[in-house]
Chains A and B, each alone.
Chain A
Amino acid sequence: MRWSPALSLLLACAAWPQLAAAKPIQIPHEEFTLDNGLRVVLAPDHSAPIVHTQVWYHVGSKDEAPGRTGFAHLFEHLMFQGSKNTPGEYFTPIQEVGGTLNGTTNTDRTNYFETVPSRYLPLALFMEADRMGALLDVFDQAKLDNQRDVVKNERRQRYENPPYGLVWVDLSAAMYPEGHPYHHATIGSHEDLAAASVDDVSGFFRTWYVPNNATLVVAGDFDPAAARALVTEQFGWIPSGPTPVHATAAPVHLTESRKIVQYQKVPDRKVWIGWHSAAAFQAGDAEMDIASSLLCDGQDSRLYRRLVERDQIARDISCSQTTRRLGGMFLVEATAAEGHTTDEIVAAVDNELALVLGDAPPTAEEVSSAVTSYKVGAYYGLQTIQGKATTMSGYMDLLGKPDGVQADLNRYLKLKPSKVLKALKLVVDAPRVELHVLPQADAPAGGAL
């Protein structure tokens, strides 16, 4: 959940230049669209006697109705509660044949996947098709109530109980204005989860869970002609629906920087500095991945050397470029070393960024090393049949075509230090949000907010 690290990884993936020049990465596959609008990709891979299916619905928390935050994710849970022709738990028939399965939701999309022994491909397709076409026939209030409780407990476990767990929720709210699709985090609020009704479920299903708003990718050990016939048979009967209208938003530009200070039951002083950055596949997106890497990845990175090694005011520091459809976010996160403050950290980060943008720009070697990491990452992403299917699904979702690996990689391979520098300058010269989360002992006397 949260924003999917898998998503940002695969968007950033690439292969290495020597090989790329000689032999572009191509994943053998075929692609077709059923009459009902379901787009299908088949990628045979006989390296193991398994198949992996990915069904992506192009709906995420960005598309939720006002007052229903968290609903896209709650709905994902309901998709595991049985459908007309397999009315029990979705897990049961899949686990019985040795399958593994799950689903994830982020701001932009919801995906469902299973790996099964290849002989059970018909079962996996039957199950996915049945919940795509016949979920509501057996849906009831008790299922909603049960999974609402489960999701509230997911929220407690992942966000409320761990120290700093709610930072992403607070950052989203601070970075995006009220009404923006990313203003609320995917997990939503207890209040909105409590308000979700059976009516909401049927409305959401009919609006978003139509075959013409979904993609099916099958990878693994199968005969493409047989698989094509199976997919057509299993999914062809599902009626299409009206084309759903996805949430849109113009890029956000903060008019001024904001500093938020929270006092919580936490052990350390931590700070997050967030800037708006380019959306997925827009100019500046790949550049910021590389900038993020040379600033924070490894003990030779700029911010690590400055804050952890030289000044010793931070215990750890990390950077990330979160790439999403409606906008990116570049984030620096650090923990203060004992006896030091988050204000010192922010000052040192600013100072080091000024150096990078001024006297000590990124070197060709720094950029090429960071690009190399992405190249190798691309191969790690294609190591397994599941990785292959997930990678292709990601490109289907964002680019509308499954074979984006090489095109994506090419964005990185041509990057020059000057372009990275320009993109970084554009991002960090703009206003930003600082979120300082401090132990309660730091609160000013008389009580803080």
Chain B
Amino acid sequence: MILLLALLATSQAAPERAMPAPLAAGEFVMPAEHTATLSNGVEVRLVENHEVPLWSLRVVVRAGPEIDPADEIGLRSVTLSMLDQGAGGLDAAKLAASTKRLGGSVGAGASRDTFWVGASGPTDTFGALLDVWASVLLHPDFPADRWTIQQRQLIENLAAARQDPDAIAGRVQRHLVYGASYVGRLESEAAYAAITAQDQRDWYSRYLDPKNAVILVGGDLSLDAVVDALNARLGGWTRSESSLAETTPTPLPFDHEVIYVVDKPGAAQSVVRTLLPVGDRSDESWWGLYLGNTAFGGAFTARVNMNLREDKGWTYGARCGVDDGAGPSLWNCSTNIQTDKTAPAVSELRREIADVVDSRPITDKEIAFFGSYRVNAFSGQYETPSALLGQLQDIWTYHLPADWVAQYIPRVSAVTPDSANSALRRWLQPSHVSYLIVGDVARIGPDLAKLGLPVVQLDVDGNPLEPKP
């Protein structure tokens, strides 16, 4: 081996080369945002971009799953997915054929705290695609035969999700963090079976209300053209008097260290996640947490990935992030670990967390490095309108300061090792972290038990199993 390396070195005599100096900095111009108000009172925000003849548009409504009835969890998502299943007298196939002919797409979707109905396509068919979009938004038919098909698909997809390790982890995580509150209530066969087409009509007429809406547009369009097109189509869509109360989910208390395990017999790897609610973006310490976490686990070169992947080789990758939404943000690390290294990986994660808030705080060098990483990456993130529109949607949804985007570079640059470490010490209390593992209990259980933490076994829906006799 030594001989071989010597051979390699001599036969490859590559020259010494110095790293070249950077060039002059390019000028970054933040894309401009144009706003207008439609005749029905809905605000429109447009980010123009004329590089390619494409556009996208969405009406966003601020309302999360808290509006689902307790026995019909998923009604919001279901109703939205039914909008393009028949509208304005056109059935699902005809709607699909018309959007395809026009080179675009029309559809609806939901995130945790908002939902939307959107369209996108080439500039030369903007008007015609907007007609299809308006029809789906304003005149959905909710055909019962299409619901029967979708209902079966949803129920069968749910059964499939219960056998997919990553999907299991996603569902159980919600339940562990939010318990019986609205975010933690999981979709079920019973809930899907209970939902009727009439329930969808009722939900639609109650919640698809311009009162809680904003319209976000990006691409090869002008504000005048957008406003005229929308006014011509949305004139009859009027705001109700009632206003939708905003709800904020509250996580369960996280006050002790615990390992939750879901059994996945025969798994080649274990899905490993750390869970911990932390502060939200209105908290002064959020920026310290953001950059401190970047150094801890938020990038390829951050501590956690360098340890578990580049040093140990136990995983294809490991990342930690701060997930922001309504209510407290969720700090979580996520990695898939080869089965026989599951308990050692949990030990490493525990050690990294314990060290960063104690013996091995984030260093000056790390703050300089990851601060540079975040600040320099900023200008590349606004190349397409969708990036800025995503930020605008966040600002609108979560009532962030209007200059949230403009403040990014100064706020990240202002983070010091002290402010990052005090944020990490405040939020990442090692004794409060939960670990969620989906893996082969027969193989990982004995080693996990030796870690000295409580181990709670859950079923695939996150409910505790009775201990085996």
Contact = CB atoms under 8 A, between A and B. Distances in A.
Given A300-B94, A383-B51, A316 B153 contact: yes
A265 to B, nearest CB: 6
Contacts of B100: 297-298, 300, 369-370, 372-373
B376 to A, nearest CB: 2
Contacts of A376: 54, 103-104, 121-122
A359 interface: no
B321 to A, nearest CB: 16
Given A49-B379, A89-B310, A98-B376, A16 B103 contact: yes
Given A49-B27, A96-B372, A98-B375, A315 B156 contact: yes
Interface string A363-391: 00100111011011001101111000000
Nearest to A134: B14
Interface stretch (B1-9, B245-253, B275-283): B1-9
Interface string B20-36: 11111111100000000
B164 interface: yes
Given A18-B124, A85-B16, A153-B336, A309 B54 contact: no
A95 B294 CA distance: 12
Given A48-B379, A379-B122, A95 B149 contact: no
A76 to B, nearest CB: 13
Contacts of B373: 95-98
B165 A91 contact: no
Interface string B81-118: 00000000000111111001111100000000000000
Contact of A162 (B25, B166, B376): B166
B26 A49 contact: yes
Contacts of A375: 103, 122
Interface string A82-103: 0111100101110111111000
Contacts of A333: none
Contacts of B337: 153
Interface string A336-365: 011000000000000000000000000001
B369 A96 contact: yes
A100 B301 CA distance: 12
B149 A161 contact: no
| Residue in A139, A140, A230, A298 whose Cβ sees the most chain B Cβ within 10 Å | A298
A335 to B, nearest CB: 8
A156 B340 CA distance: 13
A86 B269 contact: no
A237 interface: yes
Interface stretch (B130-138, B192-200, B380-388, B424-432): B380-388
Interface in A37-83: 47-50, 83
B444 to A, nearest CB: 14
A268 B157 CA distance: 9
A308 B377 CA distance: 45
A136 B372 CA distance: 30
A39 to B, nearest CB: 21
Nearest to B220: A379
A126 B17 contact: yes
Interface stretch (A141-149, A176-184, A408-416): A141-149
B52 interface: yes
B15 interface: yes
A169 to B, nearest CB: 14
Contact of A150 (B27, B53, B313, B374): B313
A129 B269 CA distance: 36
Interface in A255-298: 265-268, 297-298
Interface in A138-175: 139-141, 145-150, 152-154, 156-158, 160-163
Contacts of A115: 380
B190 interface: no
B152 A161 contact: no
A128 interface: no
Interface class of chain A by DSSP: helix
A118 interface: yes
Contact of A298 (B96, B103, B152, B265): B96
B274 to A, nearest CB: 18
B299 interface: yes
Contacts of A16: 103, 122, 124
Contacts of A403: none
B379 A380 contact: no
B266 interface: yes
B326 to A, nearest CB: 29
B26 A118 contact: yes
B338 interface: yes
A123 B153 contact: no
B245 to A, nearest CB: 36
Contact of A137 (B9, B92, B159, B379): B9
B12 interface: yes
Contacts of B181: none
Given A92-B301, A157-B315, 11 more contacts: A84-B17, A91-B300, A93-B19, A146-B311, A146-B313, A156-B269, A162-B166, A202-B8, A267-B163, A372-B103, A379-B54
26 contacts: A47-B383, A49-B26, A49-B27, A49-B379, A85-B16, A95-B299, A96-B373, A97-B372, A117-B26, A117-B379, A118-B25, A119-B24, A125-B20, A136-B9, A137-B8, A145-B313, A149-B313, A157-B315, A157-B336, A268-B160, A337-B156, A365-B101, A369-B97, A372-B101, A375-B122, A385-B383
Per CB-CB distance, the 8 closest pairs between chain A and chain B, nearest first, are A98-B376, A49-B26, A149-B313, A134-B14, A122-B20, A98-B377, A300-B97, A160-B268
